[in-house]
Amino acid sequence: MKNIGLFCFLLLSLGCARPHTGKIVQVEILDPAVKNILDEQVEIEVIVTGFVWTEGPLWLAESKTLIFSDVPNNVIHSWSEAGGVKKYLEPSGYTGAVPRGGETGSNGLALSLENTLLLCQHGDRRVAAMDAPLSAPRPAFITLAGQFEGKKFNSPNDVAVRNNGDLYFTDPPYGLMGLDKDSTKETPVNGVYRISKGTVTLLVDSLSKPNGIAFLPDGKTFIVANSDGAKPIWYAFDVNEQDSVYNARIFYDATEAFKKEGGGPDGLKVDKKGNVFATGPGGIWIFNASGKVLGKIKLEGRVSNCALDTEERTLFVTNADRVLRIKLKK
């Protein structure tokens, strides 16, 4: 893995913005089922570099484009094979006139069932929809959720779209300069919420740092990554026919791995077969739908989130100040 670190350092020094052939790395196989997802060796490509902190990767199928947040810079960038890297949207998460510090930009991104861009905006402390087509982005936003019971959210972090169109999002304090001790923090919890037909409901108030969120394919279970170093755990929650959340449980406890490698659970995505690709200690963890670890892709540096292309043949990973591409099995 030291060779990969050196390789990435050289790429950063060159300020590259085009795909570069990467290193072949061995996948840590913990269950033979992972061989249906990945070859035993995979190529790690650095496709873009030179940002501050990349997050929220999202594949746009119509244009064959990846977009991703550079959170501290308050910008969303795009990348495509044909066009390279370009600025996609600015500002992305803070539209106020008064300068402020901290992580102001957008974080998690998603598409609604109507193909509208959804943004978790740290600076504006809301979940919003871009009021513009994906092909002609502009910083015009519609607030979908900006407060709960009259109190501003902390800094919505990630959003998942259930198969009925409802939005589920996490609200840790990472966009507040003082985090949980910030003087502007209004909500007493770091919650998981639902937006359904314009109504916001608090679903989970027991997690310390809820972060990444994703649904299993049937829409009946969602997984939340708790990015607290004291409790680096992925949790699962079921949703019944009345939309109530029940059967809260540990999906996987990464405490021991965190002690050895650091880098807590963060963003995650689920493929059509229910395999979970989760950023966490040491790189990308691959689980089955029951929470069994199938394998790991070891990566240098902090990994924040990931995204799949439409055919689920490519995994994109936001990795500190760069974005990686990993080919999956066809």
Asked if 21 contacts 314 with a C-beta cutoff of 8 angstroms, the reply is no
Whether domain 2-22+39-266+316-327 has CATH 1.25.10.10: no
Structure token pair of residue 159? 């959003």
- Phi, then psi, of 151 in degrees rounded to 5: -115, 135
Whole-angstrom distance, CA of residue 119 vs CA of residue 107: 7
The sheet that has 167-170: what strands, in order across it? 158-161, 167-170, 192-196, 199-204
Q: Give the pLDDT confidence score for residue 2 in this predicted structure.
A: 35
Over residues 86-109, mean pLDDT: 96
Whose CA is closest to 68, among 50, 89, 84? 89
Q: Give the pLDDT confidence score for residue 60 in this predicted structure.
A: 98
Asked if 276 contacts 34 with a C-beta cutoff of 8 angstroms, the reply is no
Whole-angstrom distance, CA of residue 109 vs CA of residue 112: 10
pLDDT level of residue 24 (50, 70, 90 thresholds): confident
pTM of the model: 0.93
Whole-angstrom distance, CA of residue 144 vs CA of residue 197: 10
Q: Which amino acid is at 193?
A: Y
Largest CA distance in the chain: 54
- pLDDT tens-digit readout, 228-287: 999 999 999 999 999 999 999 999 999 999 999 999 999 999 999 999 999 999 999 999
Please compute Rg for the chain using Cα positions. Answer: 18
Tally of CB atoms within 10 A around 83: 11
Q: Give the pLDDT confidence score for residue 101 in this predicted structure.
A: 87
Find the helix or strand (DSSP H, E) in which 233 lies: strand 231-239
Whole-angstrom distance, CA of residue 125 vs CA of residue 173: 10
